[in-house]
Amino acid sequence: MEICEILDEKGLTSMAMRSRLPASKDRLLFTPGPLTTSLSVKQAMMRDAGSWHFEFNALVLEIREKLLQIVGLSRERGYETILMQGTGTFGVESVIGSVVPAGGKILILSNGAYGERMLQMAGHFKLHAEAFRSPENETPHLGLLRERLQGDASITHVAAVHCETTTGMLNPMHEIGALVQEARKIYIVDAVSSFGSIPIDFERAGIHFLVSSANKCLEGVPGFSFVICRRASLLASEGCARSLSLDLLGQWRGFEKNGQFRYTPPTHAILAFEQALKEFEQEGGVEARGARYAANHQTLHREMSRMGFKTYLPPGVQSHIITSFLFPSDPKFQFAEFYRRLSDRGYIIYPGKISQADTFRVGCIGRLFESDMLDLTHAIADVIQDMGVSL
The 3-state secondary structure of 106-125, one letter per residue: EEEEECCHHHHHHHHHHHHC
Within a domain: 35: no
Please give the Cα distance from 65 to 62 (Å, whole number): 5
Query: Does residue 36 belong to any structural domain of this protein?
Result: no
pTM, two decimals, is 0.92
Give the CA dihedral 226, 231, 236, 238, nearest 10 degrees. Answer: 60
**Do 223 and 356 reside in the same domain of the chain?**
no
β 79-85/106-110 pair status: unpaired
For residues 102 and 215, membership in a common domain is answered with: yes
Query: What does the alpha-carbon distance between residue 340 and residue 320 come to, in Å, rounded to a whole number?
Result: 25
Is 197 within the bounds of a domain? yes
The answer to whether position 249 is within a domain reads yes
Query: Do 210 and 130 share a domain, yes or no?
Result: yes
* Judgement on whether residues 348 and 313 belong to the same structural domain of the protein: yes
Is 173 found in the same domain as 26? no
Spell out the per-residue pLDDT of the chain, length 391, in tens: 333 333 333 333 333 333 333 333 689 999 988 999 999 999 999 999 998 899 999 999 999 999 999 999 999 999 999 999 999 999 999 999 999 999 999 999 999 999 999 999 999 999 999 999 999 999 999 999 999 999 999 999 999 999 999 999 999 999 999 999 999 999 999 999 999 999 999 999 999 999 999 999 999 999 999 999 999 999 999 999 999 999 999 999 999 999 999 999 999 999 999 999 999 999 999 999 999 999 999 999 999 999 999 999 999 999 999 999 999 999 999 999 999 999 999 999 999 988 889 999 999 999 999 999 999 999 999 999 999 999 9
Contact (CB, 8 A) for 335 and 327: yes
The reported pLDDT for the residue numbered 267 is 97
Q: Provide the domain limits for residue 243.
A: 41-281
For position 331, which CATH number holds? 3.90.1150.10
Peptide bond between residue 34 and the one before it cis (omega within 30 degrees of 0): yes
C-alpha closest to that of 350 among 390, 321, 391, 384: 321
- 110 lies in some domain: yes
Same domain, 353 and 313: yes
The enclosing domain of 254 has a CATH number of 3.40.640.10
- Last residue of one domain, picked from the residues 246, 281, 316: 281
Cβ neighbors of 319 (< 8 A, separation 6 or more) are 163, 168, 169, 170, 194, 198, 297
Looking at the fold, whether 16 and 47 belong to one and the same domain comes out as no
- Which domain-ending residue is among 225, 256, 281? 281
Same domain, 246 and 306: no
Angle at 83 between CA 82 and CA 86, to 5 degrees: 135
Task: Identify whether 255 is part of a domain.
Answer: yes
Whether residue 69 sits in one domain with residue 184: yes
What is the C-alpha separation between 261 and 255, in angstroms, rounded? 6
Q: Please tell me whether residues 275 and 301 are part of one structural domain.
A: no
What crossing angle do the helices spanning 267-283 and 285-307 adopt, rounded to 10°?
90
Residue 11 confidence (pLDDT): 33
Residues 276, 137: one domain? yes
Query: Has residue 113 been placed in a domain?
Result: yes
Which of these, 266, 361, 351, lies nearest to 311 by C-alpha position?
361
Considering 281, 296, 318, which residue would you say is the last residue of a domain? 281
Asked if 187 and 46 sit in the same domain, the reply is yes
Q: Is 379 domain-assigned?
A: yes
In one letter, which amino acid is 175? E
Number of domains composing the chain:
2
Collapsing DSSP to helix, strand or coil, 291 comes out as: helix
